[in-house]
């Protein structure tokens, strides 16, 4: 599936995502009210192959959610709605709209590192994670996924999310970082800090997935620097049963998705297995 933040804010975005050959789509993170986000520059391609961005959770607000979900369902896609909030009440309100709209799953954005009062500000506190997940899980039978970022408390936050009723964890979000222009001596992004994505964060994602799987054996959606079948396979071996791709969709997304899937099929066959599921967490048994 795509990582939240890569398109997914309008029905037109969903049509484009569907053309990539994904098994499921994740919407942009929706909040109660529309958010314009930060002014430019908001994204920068790094010399090491990754990106750093500070969009500021820009989205049209939960009033636009039903149209987005409707289009996804029309296309026969598993639809995961990403929900953001700066309070428990906001998470519940937006999630209720997602449920009413027909979302197959809800992914709680508890890991965004560059928007004050949202994301990582909440997800790095295990108590907050528990309260948000428990409140949203109690709304309906729609499965709740907790998306967590990299923090000192990621292991405890993962445990509290599961305790609160999360059926799966998405690990990880972008990693807080910054870039400075050496001539102006000023940070390049308008928000100063941003979230780093792409290949530079992949080893961190592998480590977090490995740690959390070893501790709790939960269902995990691995995300962070997946660019080819090898990086995808690493996350599977660490404990991820599903994958999200983000930065790599910036260029030739359909070809990239097909290449990853073909590579994984050949890898599973070469190792003598029939299903990817048989390889989830295999690194813990060696």
Catalytic positions: 112
Q: How many CA atoms lie within 13 A of 145 on its CB side?
A: 26
CA atoms of 27 and 9, how far apart (whole Å): 6
CA atoms of 245 and 254, how far apart (whole Å): 12
Assess whether the previous peptide bond of 41 is cis (omega < 30° from 0): yes
- Under 8 Å between Cβ of 280 and 246: no
CA atoms of 147 and 170, how far apart (whole Å): 4
CA atoms of 156 and 166, how far apart (whole Å): 14
Chain centroid to CA 251? 19
DSSP-based three-state secondary structure for 31: coil
Question: Which value, in Å, is the radius of gyration of the alpha carbons in the chain?
Answer: 18
| Token pair of 220 as six digits | 């995990």
- Under 8 Å between Cβ of 173 and 113: yes
| Token pair of 76 as six digits | 């026969």
In degrees and rounded to multiples of 5, residue 273 shows phi and psi of -110, 165
CA atoms of 278 and 5, how far apart (whole Å): 30
């Amino acid at each position: 599936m795509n990582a939240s933040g890569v398109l997914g804010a309008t029905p037109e975005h969903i049509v484009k995502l569907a053309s990539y050959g994904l098994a499921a789509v994740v919407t942009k993170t929706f909040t109660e009210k529309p958010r314009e986000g930060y002014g430019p520059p908001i994204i920068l391609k790094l010399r090491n192959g990754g990106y750093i961005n500070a969009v500021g959770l820009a989205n049209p607000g939960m009033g636009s959610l039903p149209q987005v979900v409707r289009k996804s369902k029309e296309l026969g896609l598993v639809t995961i709605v990403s929900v953001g909030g700066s309070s428990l009440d906001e998470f519940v309100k937006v999630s209720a709209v997602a449920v009413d709209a027909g979302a197959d799953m809800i992914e709680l954005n508890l890991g965004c590192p560059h928007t004050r009062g949202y994301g990582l500000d909440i997800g790095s506190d295990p108590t907050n994670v528990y309260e948000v997940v428990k409140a949203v899980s109690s709304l309906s039978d729609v499965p709740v996924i907790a998306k967590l970022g990299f923090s000192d408390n990621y292991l405890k936050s993962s445990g509290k999310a599961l305790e609160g009723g999360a059926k799966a964890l998405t690990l990880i979000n972008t990693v807080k970082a910054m870039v400075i222009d050496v001539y102006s001596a000023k940070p390049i992004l308008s928000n100063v800090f941003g979230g780093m994505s792409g290949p530079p964060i992949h080893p961190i994602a592998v480590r977090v997935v490995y740690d959390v799987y070893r501790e709790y054996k939960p269902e995990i959606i691995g995300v962070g620097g997946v660019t080819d079948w090898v990086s995808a396979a690493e996350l599977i071996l660490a404990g991820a049963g599903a994958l999200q791709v983000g930065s790599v969709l910036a260029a030739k997304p359909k070809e990239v998705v097909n290449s990853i899937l073909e590579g994984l099929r050949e890898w599973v066959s070469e190792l003598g297995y029939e299903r990817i599921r048989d390889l989830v967490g295999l690194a813990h048994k060696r």
